[in-house]
Amino acid sequence: MTAVAIDANRLWERIEALSRITDPDRPWTRRSFSPLFLKGREWLANEFRTGGLATSIDAAGNLVGRLAGSDPNLKPIVIGSHSDTVPSGGRYDGILGVLAGLEVAQSLVERGDRLRHPLEIYDFLAEEPSEFGLSCIGSRALAGMFSASMRDLRRPDGMTLREGLAYVGGDPERLASVRRSPDGTAAYVEVHIEQGRVLEQEGTAIGIVTDIVGIHRERITVKGRADHAGATPMLLRADALVGAAHIVGTVYARALALADSDKPLVATVGKLDVLPNAANAVPGEVEMVLEVRCGDEAATRTFGKTLIEEVRPALEALRLEVQAETVSHASPTPCAPVVRDAIRAAASSLGLSSRDLPSGAGHDGVFVALTGPIGMIFVPCLDGRSHAPEESIEPHQAADGARVLFETVRRLDAILG
């Protein structure tokens, strides 16, 4: 094979084009299971085909592009990320990884280069937390971690996840067909913005991810009694929102106390639903989602349980009930040395500075790791901003990530069986 030569302008033009498929009133919003998401998917599938990829949507609603390898007995090398966003999210989170993968594949086709391994480019369905309360839906299915009961999850408008999968072109009754065996992937590599400030502050071009934190989400429900806000004396109230506020404050304090540990824990209550949610009514029920992230598996799993034990006496004194249930859990995931070494060698060969660092965000790679070795390539983002309209990268940073990805894939293709 000849020297690395991706088309940096084409990559950037595609990034800009896909990001502009957004809710104009809430840039940059393209939520999974929405008409805008389908519009983005239609555009992306056409670009996959233009790039020379055999393109399909699997039963889990993943968009997949494939290039055949020269050895049909070898397992695929997979590149992936996602095209959905959080509400008013960033322009580059997710789509950089998908489009960098497409650029690698199309560059191989145009140069007449053929890998030994098949190459698969994935736009995984719903990596971001969906309105069904579940994230990484497509990659869960790939790893065989999508349970039958998850199909019955409902979003606020009543749609079930079973219906949602069909809406995006999947087949909820054939999810088992997507499952890949524990050794079914030769390697997985993803390019992503750092979503932090380390690379930018150090002036380092490439981050080599060492591990991805575990993420645990619980639905906590506080039940009191809805009453008239004017006619109910303060001493007789069972205000669920007061109890919820106490929980939120306790979450913050407990996580802050762990900020200086070897494996820092972060915890967030970012979603609350209040009933009846009226200015003249005492809140009778509050449902919230607690998210905990940490590189320590035990700490990730037990934070919510010990939290409820701590706050329960105070809530009972307020005449409130509290209950919690697990929504989802992903364990901390190490990146494979063979992939990390290939990324490091690729960056060095291109004259790009690099360093090791962990990922504090979750990614589809957590589940893909159950099918084979994974690695991630980080590029800097402006001021570490992500999941916000201000999220920003420069064209040369996107190109650096794609160039390192190209060279990493070539190296993995040469050394893996």
Q: Which residue ranges make up the annotated binding site for allantoate?
A: 217, 280, 293
Contacts of 122 (CB under 8 A, 6+ apart): 62, 63, 64, 78, 79, 80, 81, 98, 101, 138, 139, 142, 364
Question: How far, CA to CA in Å, does 108 sit from each of 3, 155, 174, 189?
Answer: 11, 41, 32, 16
Question: How far, CA to CA in Å, does 272 sit from each of 35, 155, 161, 168, 222?
Answer: 25, 14, 21, 27, 11
Question: Helix, strand or coil for residue 92?
Answer: coil
Residue type present at position 342: A
Structure tokens belonging to residue 3: 């020297």
> Alpha-carbon distance 169 to 162, whole Å?
11
What is the SS3 string spanning 260-293? CCCCCCEEEEEEEEEECCCCCEECCEEEEEEEEE
Give the annotated binding-site residues for Zn(2+). 82, 93, 128, 192, 387
The HSE-up count of residue 331 (CA atoms within 13 Å, CB side) is 9
Give the annotated binding-site residues. 82, 93, 128, 192, 217, 280, 293, 387
Structure tokens belonging to residue 265: 């824990």
